[in-house]
Chains A and B, each alone.
Chain A
């Protein structure tokens, strides 16, 4: 492994880890989703069997 090899590996892996950590940190520190938002998520399987397609 040459010095340039170490450099390329550390820069590549390091920058990807930094980007991933930055993004995940931003996502996890966002304000919690409002309860009303969660209400639109299906609480059980919706097979649409009770709906008339037309």
Chain B
């Protein structure tokens, strides 16, 4: 099929790398990774982590970048279209529905979390988050009230979070409306360096704290670093450690989100995908290991001592534990503000990337103009976010969307893409496609890993994650009304997307863009 004329394109080589890295860098780099590492063997956790990074994360990233550009050269930027160019079967486009559903569902609750970060940054700026005689209980209560965790619908009365949510929505959809190059790319070119500067400021502050409380000499920098990095090799015998490390790699690199395949579809034939993919992954790892790994847990230890099990969770660590740290830290208000500004920037570069795949589908599948696409997507996203905001008690709706969208669908989509690359596109064709315009070569054995090891490993990790989930969590997902409504909502969105994909498929066929029975010609113009 001939290459279709495209209006959207990346403005520069660095721009696309920063956009993909920005999409990958999120709250997980600074809050999820350190908590998991400290809980699963400290420095020893890095062994399964780097194994998963080298054997799965980097290869799957190469595969996704390659498939995205492959589809883009054939005139498609959305998962339904791209999958149809790889698997010439009528069902392929419907499979692409998962590639739209996954980022959309994740974005619906991620935008709410983004608003939490913006709110906390603002409260540090105004000084409201330096509580008088602040105790851990007071900071817990502040967070619970701010996110409405005590009662469903309480946010509709208090309204504090809603104004930040409104601002977050406006920022996201304004940048989306600006377009790929002038909106997302331009923003990431500014946001990524600012994020790095904020993180380095906080890192320098943490590394120069010494012994913050002379009355507790054991809570010093060296012991804080030791708490994070001293290895407990016995944890390597625990299957769960390997499972968690592999899960973190998928989560942090954005493999299986349906984002990379969309972003790389805007590349041209002679653009590099191999070096770009590796660079985006490396930048993400820099934020995670070098900044996240040295800041969060050591800082928490220096001020709070040994953390309890319930203090390691992403939200607990970020929004309950760290405010205690900033309160006790000299110039804590400034560093608290910088920290949450950084988290907000990390979150917004990720949420933008989750919305773009659906925008691309609305434009190319339904022929909508950009303002109509942005408005329609804004409406859908607002419904999902409203669900999270209303059913705020115990964060049940958020947790349910996170489980079905951010865990289940993520694994399903990653597996679909691994199978598409290894078994449908084929590793020979995939290798040729990856090396077009490449500035470095992928070792040949990686192709065999992509065909055999990656799908098998994904299935093992997926099964392991399901099996190790606590029975109480399953019970909550099955019985809590908010969790059931959230599941029903996901099904409705899927149904709607499948209907729209059906309409798009008919339009593509009528326009001659999609020839599901035509033999593949290896190479678009």
Taking Cβ atoms with an 8 Å cutoff, the residues of A that contact B are 1-2, 4-9, 11-13, 15-17, 19-20, 22-24, 26-27, 30, 33, 37-38, 40-42, 44-49, 51, 53-54
- CB contacts under 8 Å to A, within B1-31, are 6-14, 17
Name the prevailing secondary structure of the B interface residues: helix
Cβ B229 vs Cβ A46 within 8 A: no
The answer, among B42, B177, B290, for a CB contact under 8 Å with A16, is B290
- Hey, which chain B residues are within 8 Å of A5, CB to CB? 42-43, 225-226, 229-231
Cβ B10 vs Cβ A41 within 8 A: yes
- Hey, which chain B residues are within 8 Å of A45, CB to CB? 177-179, 182
B439 in the interface (beta carbon within 8 A): yes
Q: Which residue of B lies closest to A21 (CB)?
A: B282
Cβ B286 vs Cβ A16 within 8 A: yes
Cβ A27 vs Cβ B225 within 8 A: no
Q: Give complex CA distance A46, B370 in Å.
A: 8
Cβ B286 vs Cβ A27 within 8 A: no
Q: Determine how close the nearest CB of chain A comes to the CB of B514; give it in whole angstroms.
A: 16
Q: Which residue of A lies closest to B270 (CB)?
A: A37
Q: Which residue of B lies closest to A31 (CB)?
A: B439
Q: Determine how close the nearest CB of chain A comes to the CB of B69; give it in whole angstroms.
A: 14
Q: Give complex CA distance A15, B279 in Å.
A: 14
B440 in the interface (beta carbon within 8 A): yes
The answer, among B14, B223, B279, B367, for a CB contact under 8 Å with A53, is B367
Evaluate whether A13 and B275 lie within 8 angstroms (CB atoms) in the complex, with A20-B283, A40-B268, A53-B367 already known. Answer: no
Q: Give complex CA distance A47, B331 in Å.
A: 45
Cβ B229 vs Cβ A30 within 8 A: no
Cβ A27 vs Cβ B8 within 8 A: no
Q: Which of A2, A5, A51 has the most CB of B within 10 A?
A: A5
- Hey, which chain A residues are within 8 Å of B483, CB to CB? none
B369 in the interface (beta carbon within 8 A): yes
The answer, among B283, B363, B371, for a CB contact under 8 Å with A49, is B371
Q: Give complex CA distance A23, B231 in Å.
A: 29
Cβ B275 vs Cβ A9 within 8 A: no
Q: Which residue of B lies closest to A46 (CB)?
A: B7
B450 in the interface (beta carbon within 8 A): no
Q: Which residue of A lies closest to B289 (CB)?
A: A16
Evaluate whether A8 and B231 lie within 8 angstroms (CB atoms) in the complex, with A16-B290, A26-B439, A48-B7 already known. Answer: yes
Q: Which residue of A lies closest to B43 (CB)?
A: A8
Cβ A8 vs Cβ B12 within 8 A: no
Taking Cβ atoms with an 8 Å cutoff, the residues of B that contact A are 6-14, 17, 42-44, 46, 50, 177-182, 222-223, 225-226, 228-231, 268, 270, 272, 275-276, 278-279, 282-283, 285-286, 289-290, 293-294, 363, 367-371, 439-440
Q: Determine how close the nearest CB of chain B comes to the CB of A41; give it in whole angstroms.
A: 4
Q: Which residue of B lies closest to A25 (CB)?
A: B279
Q: Give complex CA distance A16, B46 in Å.
A: 11
Q: Which residue of A lies closest to B276 (CB)?
A: A27
Q: Give complex CA distance A13, B12 in Å.
A: 29
Q: Give complex CA distance A31, B170 in Å.
A: 38
- Hey, which chain B residues are within 8 Å of A33, CB to CB? 12-13
The answer, among B42, B181, B275, B286, for a CB contact under 8 Å with A20, is B286
Q: Determine how close the nearest CB of chain A comes to the CB of B50; give it in whole angstroms.
A: 8
Cβ B289 vs Cβ A12 within 8 A: yes
Q: Give complex CA distance A50, B506 in Å.
A: 24
Evaluate whether A37 and B268 lie within 8 angstroms (CB atoms) in the complex, with A5-B226, A5-B231 already known. Answer: yes
The answer, among A1, A11, A47, for a CB contact under 8 Å with B226, is A1
Q: Give complex CA distance A19, B12 in Å.
A: 22
Evaluate whether A4 and B43 lie within 8 angstroms (CB atoms) in the complex, with A16-B285, A27-B17 already known. Answer: yes
The answer, among B180, B182, B369, for a CB contact under 8 Å with A48, is B369
Q: Which of B179, B268, B270, B272 has the most CB of A within 10 A?
A: B179
Cβ B367 vs Cβ A20 within 8 A: no
The answer, among A12, A37, A46, for a CB contact under 8 Å with B8, is A46
Evaluate whether A47 and B369 lie within 8 angstroms (CB atoms) in the complex, with A13-B290, A13-B293, A42-B9 already known. Answer: yes
- Hey, which chain A residues are within 8 Å of B177, CB to CB? 45, 47
Cβ B7 vs Cβ A38 within 8 A: no
Cβ A13 vs Cβ B289 within 8 A: yes
Q: Determine how close the nearest CB of chain A comes to the CB of B61; give it in whole angstroms.
A: 12
Q: Give complex CA distance A15, B47 in Å.
A: 13
Q: Which of B14, B178, B286, B440 has the most CB of A within 10 A?
A: B286
